[in-house]
């Protein structure tokens, strides 16, 4: 069976570890190089002991990788560091970038939200946004995939079908989302210490989180008009998982059942997106460790209002799992190859 020769840049972080957890079970993938610039020379057993028995190559600097033998690169480097690196990669490579560096189509918007000019604007033109269920055909033929953020994935999957069908109004959409601490990365930070995060919950990036323009970009395409959302992320004291509570207003003469039927129709044949039964709310426990997204929809107390609950694992469907889903499409494989895992419960 032919195997895709694969390189992971930035394999020392949580998204890199999740990629390896799934790819090591994938029948069509061979890992040929791993980079981790701050941990060059270390074996993966030192960085992630749970991968100690997996016979993986040691971590090297990205300049040391022989990309001529590779077919695919997963880029798990921090935001703002990938554009020049990806621009310098050989043209034969397919690339899936898990940072935010190619998600915003408007390079001026990128400059505004990330604080520096885009360093690979020519590549940005060809990048395909990797929300798999909504860009499937473009992903199949793309060279560069901009893998979505975790908050956008949890928010866009329920909202896009409803906006496209004009069943909810583009105005006054509110997204109240909570993420496990792994969403903040693996770097040591005082505010992420156990004593700082346990037994508490905190909001951050209020009205200015960098995932906001990414969410608005995709909602505007669905609604065919400009819009602004109120998006507030929160950090909660659990390792992984994401729950987005979304408030929206139905358009005139639209019922809750119309909205439910729209979502069920949109995702009826999808392997990883599921609408929960009526009056049943999804939980992060229902998706933990898996590539699944579960969506529940409810009537609000105000006339014509609805409340949507969306649950994903921020490290899987919100990052590494969706990246593998996109890889499968790019290489003509079954979309769920290497991803056929149920949630870990309890």
Q: Which residues belong to the active site? A: 150
Report the alpha-carbon distance of residue 94 to residue 128 in Å, rounded: 12
Taking a C-beta distance cutoff of 8 angstroms, is the pair 313, 242 a contact?
Answer: yes
Residue (of 191, 175, 209) closest to 310 by Cα position: 175
Taking a C-beta distance cutoff of 8 angstroms, is the pair 60, 67 a contact?
Answer: no
Burial class (CB in 10 A: 0-12, 13-18, 19+), 217: middle
CA neighbours within 13 Å on the CB side: how many for 203? 10
Taking a C-beta distance cutoff of 8 angstroms, is the pair 122, 99 a contact?
Answer: no
Report the alpha-carbon distance of residue 39 to residue 46 in Å, rounded: 10
Long-range CB contacts (< 8 A, 24+ apart) of 55-61?
A: 56/20, 56/31, 57/31, 57/32, 57/33, 58/34, 59/11, 59/12, 59/34, 59/35, 60/33, 60/34, 60/35, 60/36, 61/35, 61/37
CA neighbours within 13 Å on the CB side: how many for 16? 26
Helices 212-223 + 150-164 axis angle, to 10:
20
Taking a C-beta distance cutoff of 8 angstroms, is the pair 94, 330 a contact?
Answer: yes
């Amino acid at each position: 069976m032919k195997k895709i020769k694969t390189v992971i840049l930035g394999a020392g972080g949580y998204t890199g570890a999740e990629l390896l957890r799934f790819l090591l079970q994938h029948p069509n993938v061979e890992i040929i190089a791993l980079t981790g610039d701050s941990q060059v020379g270390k074996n993966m057993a030192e960085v992630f002991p749970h991968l100690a028995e997996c016979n993986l190559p040691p971590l090297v600097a990205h300049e040391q990788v022989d990309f001529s033998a590779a077919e695919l690169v997963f880029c798990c480097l921090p935001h703002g560091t990938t554009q020049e690196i990806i621009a310098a990669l050989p043209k034969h490579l397919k690339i899936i970038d898990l940072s935010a560096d190619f998600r915003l189509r408007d390079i001026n918007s990128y400059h505004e939200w990330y604080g520096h000019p885009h360093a690979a604007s020519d590549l940005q033109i060809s990048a395909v946004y990797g929300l798999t269920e909504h860009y499937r055909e473009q992903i199949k033929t793309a060279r560069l995939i901009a893998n979505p953020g975790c908050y956008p994935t949890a928010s866009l999957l329920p909202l896009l079908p409803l906006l496209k069908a004009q069943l909810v109004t583009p105005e006054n959409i509110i997204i109240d989302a909570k993420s496990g601490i792994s969403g903040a990365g693996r770097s040591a930070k005082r505010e992420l210490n156990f004593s700082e995060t346990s037994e508490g919950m905190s909001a951050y990036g209020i009205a200015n989180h960098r995932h906001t323009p990414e969410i608005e970009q995709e909602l505007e395409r669905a609604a065919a008009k400009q819009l602004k959302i109120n998006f507030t992320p929160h950090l909660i004291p659990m390792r992984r998982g994401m729950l987005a509570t979304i408030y929206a207003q139905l358009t005139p003469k639209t019922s809750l059942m119309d909205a439910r039927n729209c979502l069920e129709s949109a995702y009826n044949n999808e392997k990883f997106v599921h609408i929960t039964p009526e009056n049943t709310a999804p939980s992060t426990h229902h998706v933990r460790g898996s590539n699944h997204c579960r969506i529940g929809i409810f009537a609000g107390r105000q006339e014509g209002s609805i409340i949507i609950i969306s649950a994903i694992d921020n490290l899987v469907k919100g990052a590494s799992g969706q990246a593998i889903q996109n890889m499968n499409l790019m290489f003509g494989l079954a979309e769920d190859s290497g991803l056929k895992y149920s949630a870990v419960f309890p």
